């Protein structure tokens, strides 16, 4: 694989074009987790998702790493799928974390990836890694976007002089 600036743009465009799949997955995950944690969580719009895609890919150092993981997962297929289970889970978790950002969102992105992955079922005409890719995008971007009540308030643990 050769990652050039043009390839990063192409991967960014693929991620943006997946809004019709990723945004509903984000909202389903938010609905389910909101119910589990007894929280009202705002839904995400396509416009919010696309703005965050732009933000991720505007950070060149982050963009090249995200683009690499996206490209690998888009093409990752293993005969009989199961032997590839570990590598697509590893890449999906890392991609979700990279997109989510710094702690604690990074760890929450990783954890949410596994939940979102249970909700995705790839198209039989796509590589096996694509459903993990979609789950990673949903998990990572849903952490970046506002809507969780605890992220909308000031932390009671902030130390101020």
Asked if the structure places residue 129 within a domain, the reply is yes
CA proximity to 151, closest of 121, 110, 109: 109
Domain count, the chain: 1
User: Which residues of the chain have a pLDDT value below 50?
Assistant: none
Q: What pLDDT is attached to residue 131?
A: 87
Asked if the structure places residue 156 within a domain, the reply is no
Asked if the structure places residue 64 within a domain, the reply is yes
CA proximity to 56, closest of 107, 112, 95, 21: 95
Question: Does the model's pTM come out above 0.85?
Answer: yes
Asked if the structure places residue 57 within a domain, the reply is yes
Rounded-to-integer distance, Cα 38 and Cα 56, Å: 30
Q: What pLDDT is attached to residue 158?
A: 85
CB 62 within 8 A of CB 121: no
Q: What range does the domain containing 144 cover? A: 5-149
Q: What is the Cα 108 distance to its own chain's centre?
A: 11
Rounded-to-integer distance, Cα 142 and Cα 42, Å: 10
Asked if the structure places residue 160 within a domain, the reply is no
Asked if the structure places residue 103 within a domain, the reply is yes
Q: Phi and psi (nearest 5°) for 29?
A: -65, -45
């Amino acid at each position: 694989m050769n990652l050039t600036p043009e390839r990063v743009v192409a991967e960014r465009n693929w991620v943006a074009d997946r809004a019709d799949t990723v945004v509903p997955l984000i909202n389903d995950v938010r609905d389910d987790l909101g119910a589990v944690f007894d929280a009202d969580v705002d839904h995400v719009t396509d416009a919010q998702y696309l703005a965050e895609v732009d933000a991720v890919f505007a950070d060149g150092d982050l963009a090249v790493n995200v683009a690499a993981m996206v490209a690998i997962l888009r093409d990752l297929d293993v005969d009989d799928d199961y032997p590839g289970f570990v590598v697509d889970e590893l890449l999906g978790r890392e991609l979700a974390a990279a997109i989510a950002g710094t702690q604690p969102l990074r760890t929450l992105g990783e954890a949410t990836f596994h939940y979102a992955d249970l909700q995705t079922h790839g198209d039989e005409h796509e590589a096996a890694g694509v459903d993990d890719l979609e789950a990673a995008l949903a998990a990572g971007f849903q952490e970046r976007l506002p809507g969780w009540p605890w992220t909308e308030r000031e932390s009671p643990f902030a130390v101020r002089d």
